[in-house]
């Protein structure tokens, strides 16, 4: 069974991929070529036999993903796809990344992958990284030296109390951090002076003072982040275009309506009744923010 699938973003373009469920064979490669896709998503596979491996090698995919796969033996990616540029590993298997000189985008689900070798050899060349539940070693590799090429970093379930792992990511443009309730502080994010997009979800940080000098910020999305003392540190961010305070996120001092005066703001999403100062009362006025909001949710 096959179907065309949305795939990886490579060089700023969305590269379509062909999803293959079950054993990979020559018919899948012919189908991929007919569709003009350059990537493969391999799912529900328990064995990559010689036929499957030769099919991948013949196709030479630039994008490759293993999802819902269980492989009993170690797989050297460079042996079957030496020119791969985007790689997703979410499978019960052992993988080697050594020799992947063209790799630029990498996603790893550490809750599924048994073992990864060669991460330290490729990480300095990566533009886009997604790590789900990274272990201590993976984070140590991430923060080991300057990551001048890294533009996008997405992390989930990070076992750290702060963002010190960002100290080497000065060129980062986008940062997504989710389901990381151990994170108590954004310390470390101040190194990312090029940061434009920030998305925090289910992260319990009470202060965002570390964002005050990140004047390139264009989008700030805070979802289910609990109580945040204030978003006043963002008041001088003239590049701000979108701000979202959703779910359980609550601004303690109630000073939210100032975002309406930001010159270029085009999208405001606020769950209004959550934001207030208990002594001074409700601080948000719907009428002032309404022209900028795509939706308004009254909690």
Confidence grade of residue 16 (pLDDT, cut at 50, 70, 90)? confident
Query: Which of 65-69, 101-105, 245-249, 275-279 has the lowest average pLDDT?
Result: 275-279
Dmax (CA) for the chain in angstroms is: 71
**52-72 pLDDT tens trace:** 889 999 999 999 999 988 888
Whole-number Å distance between alpha carbons of 145 and 165:
10
On the question of pLDDT at 283 being above 90, the answer is no
Distances (CA, A) of 282 to 62, 275, 298: 53, 7, 13
34 secondary structure, DSSP code: H
Distances (CA, A) of 224 to 199, 206, 241, 287: 11, 12, 21, 25
Confidence grade of residue 4 (pLDDT, cut at 50, 70, 90)? very low
**pTM recorded for the entire structure:** 0.86
The H or E element containing residue 121 is: helix 119-122
**157-210 pLDDT tens trace:** 999 999 999 988 999 999 999 999 899 999 999 999 999 999 999 998 999 999
What average pLDDT does range 119-126 have in this prediction?
92
Going by their DSSP bridges, the two strands 86-92 and 94-96 should be labelled as: unpaired
Going by their DSSP bridges, the two strands 9-10 and 13-14 should be labelled as: antiparallel
The arrangement of strands across the sheet holding 115-117 comes to: 75-76, 94-96, 115-117
pLDDT value of position 250: 85
Confidence grade of residue 79 (pLDDT, cut at 50, 70, 90)? very high
8 CB-near residues (< 8 Å, 6+ apart): 14, 15, 17, 39, 63, 65, 85, 86, 88, 105
pLDDT value of position 86: 94
Confidence grade of residue 299 (pLDDT, cut at 50, 70, 90)? very low
**205-239 pLDDT tens trace:** 999 999 999 999 999 999 999 899 999 999 989 89
34 CB-near residues (< 8 Å, 6+ apart): none
On the question of pLDDT at 125 being above 70, the answer is yes
pLDDT value of position 13: 58
What average pLDDT does range 41-49 have in this prediction?
81
What average pLDDT does range 12-16 have in this prediction?
64
On the question of pLDDT at 286 being above 80, the answer is no
């Amino acid at each position: 069974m096959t179907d065309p699938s949305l795939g990886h973003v490579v060089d700023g373009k969305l590269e379509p991929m062909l999803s293959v469920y079950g054993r990979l064979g020559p018919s899948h490669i012919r189908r991929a070529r007919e569709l003009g896709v350059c990537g493969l998503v391999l799912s529900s596979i328990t064995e990559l036999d010689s036929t499957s491996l030769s099919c991948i090698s013949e196709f030479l995919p630039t994008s490759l993903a293993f999802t819902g796969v269980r492989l009993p033996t170690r797989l050297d990616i460079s042996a079957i796809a030496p020119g791969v540029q985007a790689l997703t590993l979410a499978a019960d298997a052992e993988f080697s990344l050594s020799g992947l000189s063209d790799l630029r985008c990498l996603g790893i689900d550490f809750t599924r992958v048994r073992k990864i070798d060669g991460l330290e050899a490729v990480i300095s060349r990566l533009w886009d990284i997604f790590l789900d539940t990274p272990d201590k070693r993976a984070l140590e590799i991430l923060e080991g030296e300057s990551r001048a090429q890294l533009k996008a970093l997405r992390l989930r379930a990070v076992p750290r109390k702060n963002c010190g792992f960002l100290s080497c990511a000065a060129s980062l443009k986008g940062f997504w951090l989710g389901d990381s309730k151990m994170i108590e502080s954004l310390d470390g994010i101040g190194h990312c002076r090029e940061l434009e997009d920030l998305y925090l979800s289910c992260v319990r940080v009470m202060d965002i003072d570390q964002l005050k000098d990140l004047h390139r910020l264009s989008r700030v999305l805070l979802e289910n982040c609990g109580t945040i003392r204030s978003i006043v540190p963002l008041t001088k961010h003239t590049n701000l275009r979108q701000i979202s305070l959703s779910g359980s996120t609550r601004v303690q001092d109630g000073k939210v309506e100032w975002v309406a005066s930001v010159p270029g703001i085009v999208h405001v999403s606020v769950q209004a009744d959550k934001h207030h100062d208990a002594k001074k009362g409700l601080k948000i006025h719907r009428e002032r923010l309404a022209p900028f909001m795509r939706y308004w949710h009254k909690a």
